[in-house]
């Protein structure tokens, strides 16, 4: 039986929804955890971007990569409209997935 592959294009923001980050992964829960626990160096750690506000799934890695690149090129207004199609209140869609302590440890 062939293995089913899952790829996610996702949008993160900071707590006041001012900064956006678009990414792609094959494990959304793990990747969001890495952002929340600040395990990944770079943009999201620097700007405290870890609130999951949008994601979409596909079974094709090429489609996911192309979609990530497409969304990254969009102006902020268009990204906002995309988020609002799934999440009009800009809630953290990963709320309740895991608990992160102030020092970045997983307290499950």
Q: Does the global pTM surpass 0.85?
A: yes
pLDDT of residue 36: 93
CATH number of 7-86: 3.40.1440.10
86 φ/ψ angles, rounded to the nearest 5 degrees: -105, -30
How far is residue 51's CA from residue 53's CA, in Å, rounded to a whole number? 6
Mean pLDDT of the chain: 91
Tokens representing 64? 């996911």
What is the tens place of the pLDDT at every residue in 26-37?
A: 999 999 999 999
Note whether 53 and 11 are within 8 A (CB). Answer: yes
Tokens representing 43? 């943009």
In angstroms, the Cα distances linking 82 to 26, 34, 46, 104 are 21, 24, 24, 30
Q: Across-strand partners of 7? A: 58
Confidence category of residue 100, pLDDT binned at 50, 70, 90: low
């Amino acid at each position: 039986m062939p293995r089913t592959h899952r790829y996610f294009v996702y949008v993160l923001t900071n707590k006041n929804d001012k900064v956006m980050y678009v990414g792609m992964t094959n494990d959304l829960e793990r990747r969001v955890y890495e952002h929340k626990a600040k395990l990944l160096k770079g943009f999201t750690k620097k700007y405290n971007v870890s609130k999951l506000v949008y994601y979409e799934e596909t079974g094709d890695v090429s489609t996911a990569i192309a979609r990530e690149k497409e969304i990254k090129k969009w102006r902020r207004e268009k990204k906002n409209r995309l988020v609002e199609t799934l999440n009009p209140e800009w809630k953290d869609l990963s709320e309740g997935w895991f608990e992160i302590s102030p020092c970045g440890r997983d307290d499950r």
